[in-house]
Amino acid sequence: MGNDSSHLAGIDIEDKAVEVADFWSQHTASVPKSKQLSNLTIFIGELFVNGPLWTIHTPLEKCSKNLMIYRHPCILKYISSWSKSSKFYLAVEHVRPLSHVYSTLSTLQLCIGLHSVLKALCFLHEKGKASHNNVCLASIYITDDGKWKLGGMEFSCKYTELSKEHLNKSKANRYAAAVDIHEEEHIQKPDILKEFVDAFAFFVLVAELLKSDASEDIPELEDFKALCRSGLENLNIDERPTLSDLLKHPFFNHEFILIHSFLMELPLKSDEEKLTFFSNLISSLRNFNENLVANQLSGLLLSRMVLLNSVAQTKVLSKILSFKQDGEEDEEDGPLISEGTFKEHVVPRILEIFAVRDAQIRLILLQHFKGYINGFSQEELQSYILPELLVGIKDTNDILVSCTLEALSTLVLILGANTVIGGKRARLFTDGRPTQTTQKSRQNSRKCSKSLAVELPDIPVPKPVDPLFISNLPERQRPDGEEVEILTDEVDQTAEEEIEWEDWEENQDLQATGTNTLQLEQTEILEGELATSLSNLKIETSKLKNKDISKIKNIQDIDELDIKNQKSKEQSDDIDFFQDMEPEIKSSTKYLIGSELENQNTNENSNKLNLVVTGLEEDGWGEEEWE
C-alpha cells in the first residue's frame, strides 16, 4: 500500500489539473505501452496533512484503501497507488467530476445516475457494514460512457467506528449542506440505523439535481421528489424513508432504468433470465431516444458478458454492431442506431474492444465487420483496425485467420490494395477468351449466328503486361523443376502476342444444325480456300524453278562445279557446310614452280632462306646441283 512497487511503468501525467479539491488535485494520465490502460485518472496529494483524522493515513491514502476494499460496479474502480518524494498518487479508471457535466444531462440520465449512487450506498450499508459519510456532488464521478461512480471515500468508516467523535472530527471538511444538524443527537441513540448519515445526504443530493421541472414523461417523478423532501424535513429519523425503500420506489422502476440495472448486474442473473431479457431487449430499446441508448447503454451492450452470451449474439449484436443511414426509416429488423450517433458513441467502444487479444471476442467483431466498417474514418481504419487485422492473420487459429482474411478483402475496397497489401503490383493475368482475328472469320461467324439466332459479342484484346513490373517480381521454379532464366525479350514477345483460337464453335454449330444450307456454305468456303492455296503453291514453285535455271545458265565451264573451284562465301548463294572442316597445313618451306618462281625472284621482300628447285627430272634429283 503506497509503495513504489505498485507504480505504473511509463505513465504520462498531464501537468494541468482537471480539478483541485481540499486534499488532492485530479489529473488525466495515459500509459502508451498499455492498451488496456490507455487513459487513467490520477489523484495527487501530499504525504503529510495536518488534522485529527490524519495521524496514521492522509485523506488520499484513506480513500485509496477504501476503494481497494469496497469493489462494486457503481463505486470508483481502483487501479494502483504509490508514493514518490513527498507526493501520494492514486490511479483509477478515467472519469470526470460530475459537477462539470450534470447541468447538461437529461432528467432520465439524472434518474439513472441517482439509481447507481443509491445502489452503491446500499452495497456499503448491507454488505460492507460501512458508512460513506460524505455523499455529495463532489464525491461522484462520471465515466466516458455515462456511468456514475461513487468516490470521495476519505471519511468512510465501519459502523463500529462511526461515533460522535469521528463525525465531529470530519465535520469541518465534509459538505456542509449535507450534514444533519441533529446528527449528534441521533448518533447517541443505540437502536438507530447507522445509515442515517448517508440517507440525509442523499436526500440533499436529489433536491439539488432535480430542482427544475422535468420536461420528460417519467412516472412517479413528483412523488419521488416529495418523498425525499419529507425525509429532509422530518426530525424523527424513525419515520424517514430508508435507502432500501427508495430503491423499490416506482421512480427507479422505469423500464429504461431496469434495462440499465439488468446489464450492470448481468453476471448475477440466471440463464433463464438472460434468455427472456435479450429476446425482448431490442424491441424495448426502440421506445427510447437513440442518443440516450447509445450514450448510456453502448458500453454495457458491448461488454464481455454480452458479447459472449449466445442469445445476445443472435438477438442483439447484429442490431448494435451496425447502423442505419441518415434519413433512413426505422425498420423492425433493422439497425437500432443511426450513422451519426453510431460514430459518436459506438465507434470509440469498438476501437477499444479491437485491441483485446481474445479469440472469441475478435471472431464476433469479424463476424459483423461489414455492418460497422463504414462508420470508421480513413485514419481510424489505417491506424487502428488494419494493424490489428494484420496481427490476426499470423495466429495459429485457422478459423480466426480465415475470418481475418475475409475482413481484409472488405478493407481493400475502402483503403485500396496498396495500403492493405503493400509492395509493387503488375497485371499478370490476361483475358483468355476466344477472339476473332480475321475479317473472313468474322463474316462466317455472323452467318452462323444469324442462322442460329445467336449474337457473338466483340471481345476486347487484353493489354500486354508491363515488362518493368515483371522484371521486379521474384523468380519461381518451373512446374517440371527445371530452372531456366527468363529473358526480358521473351517476356515482351509473349505478352505482346495475341491469343488466337480456332473457331471451334463454328464447326460445332454447323454439325449440330445438320442443315443443307450450312453444309453448302461450308463446302464453298473450303473450296475457295483450297483454290487459293493451290494458286499460291504454283507461284512459289515457278519462282523456285526460275531461280534454279538462272543459276545453271550462269555456269560457263564444267570445271566450275569442282569443289576446288567454287566461289567464295560472299559470292555464292549456297551455304558451305564444310568450310570450317578444311584442314590448314603450315610448312616452313615453300616450293615455287613456273611463273611463280620468276615473280618471286623479282620480289625484293622474298625470303632468302627458301629452298629453290630449278630443275626436276622424272627419274630423281639432278646430279648437277650436287657437284
Mean pLDDT, rounded, for 539-559: 53
For 474-514, where are the alpha helices, taking DSSP H only? 488-496, 504-513
7 pLDDT more than 80: no
Supply the pLDDT for residue 291. Answer: 87
Lowest mean pLDDT among 174-183, 209-218, 223-232, 548-557: 548-557
Question: pLDDT tier at 607 (50, 70, 90 boundaries)?
Answer: very low
Ramachandran sector of residue 220 (left: φ over 0; alpha: ψ -120 to 50; beta: rest): left
Lowest mean pLDDT among 32-41, 306-315, 522-531: 522-531
Supply the pLDDT for residue 537. Answer: 60
Mean pLDDT, rounded, for 396-407: 93
Supply the pLDDT for residue 625. Answer: 43
Q: Are 282 and 315 in contact (CB under 8 A)?
A: yes
Question: Quick count: other Cβ atoms within 10 Å of Cβ 369?
Answer: 19
195 pLDDT more than 60: yes
Question: pLDDT tier at 443 (50, 70, 90 boundaries)?
Answer: low
Tell me how many degrees the CA angle 192-193-199 measures, rounded to the nearest 5: 125
> Given 3-state DSSP classes, what are the helix, strand and coil percentages for the chain, each rounded to the nearest 5?
50, 10, 40
CATH 3.30.200.20 corresponds to the domain 4-96: yes
Measured CA to CA, the distance from residue 471 to residue 486 in angstroms comes to: 9
Written as one string, the DSSP assignment of 543-562 is HHHHHHHHHHHT---GGGGS
pTM value is: 0.61
SS3 category, 28: strand
302 pLDDT more than 60: yes
Q: What stretch(es) of the chain map to CATH 1.25.10.10? A: 266-423
Cell numbers placing 7: 507504480
Best-predicted range by mean pLDDT (79-83, 191-195, 571-575): 79-83
266-423 CATH, one of 1.25.10.10, 3.40.50.1360, 1.10.10.10, 3.20.20.70: 1.25.10.10
592 pLDDT more than 80: no
305 pLDDT more than 70: yes
356 pLDDT more than 90: no
Supply the pLDDT for residue 456. Answer: 42
pLDDT higher for 453 or 35? 35
Q: What stretch(es) of the chain map to CATH 3.30.200.20? A: 4-96
Question: pLDDT tier at 186 (50, 70, 90 boundaries)?
Answer: confident
Question: Quick count: other Cβ atoms within 10 Å of Cβ 289?
Answer: 13
Tens of pLDDT, residues 482-520: 444 444 444 444 444 444 444 444 444 444 444 455 455
169 pLDDT more than 60: yes
Cell numbers placing 540: 512459289
Q: How many CA atoms lie within 13 A of 40 on its CB side?
A: 27
Measured CA to CA, the distance from residue 220 to residue 390 in angstroms comes to: 53
Q: Are 141 and 97 in contact (CB under 8 A)?
A: yes
Supply the pLDDT for residue 97. Answer: 94
454 pLDDT more than 50: no
Tens of pLDDT, residues 143-160: 988 889 999 999 999 988
621 pLDDT more than 70: no
Identify the H or E element spanning 95.
strand 95-97
Supply the pLDDT for residue 519. Answer: 52
Supply the pLDDT for residue 562. Answer: 56
Supply the pLDDT for residue 225. Answer: 87
Which CA distances in Å does 499 have to 19, 431, 467? 76, 9, 18
What is the maximum alpha-carbon separation in the chain? 174
Lowest mean pLDDT among 138-142, 229-233, 508-512: 508-512
Supply the pLDDT for residue 135. Answer: 93
Tens of pLDDT, residues 236-294: 777 888 888 888 888 888 888 889 889 988 888 899 999 999 999 999 999 888 888 88
Lowest mean pLDDT among 88-102, 236-250, 349-363, 395-409: 236-250
Supply the pLDDT for residue 512. Answer: 47
Supply the pLDDT for residue 92. Answer: 94
Mean pLDDT, rounded, for 362-390: 91
Question: pLDDT tier at 583 (50, 70, 90 boundaries)?
Answer: low
Measured CA to CA, the distance from residue 254 to residue 261 in angstroms comes to: 10
Supply the pLDDT for residue 93. Answer: 92
For 48-175, where are the alpha helices, taking DSSP H only? 59-69, 107-126, 164-171
Question: pLDDT tier at 76 (50, 70, 90 boundaries)?
Answer: very high
pLDDT higher for 239 or 617? 239
Nearest to 375 by CA among 358, 354, 398, 401: 354
Supply the pLDDT for residue 457. Answer: 46
62 pLDDT more than 90: yes
Q: What is the overall mean pLDDT for the chain? A: 75
Cell numbers placing 591: 616450293
Compute the radius of gyration of the chain from its Cα atoms.
50
Supply the pLDDT for residue 609. Answer: 47
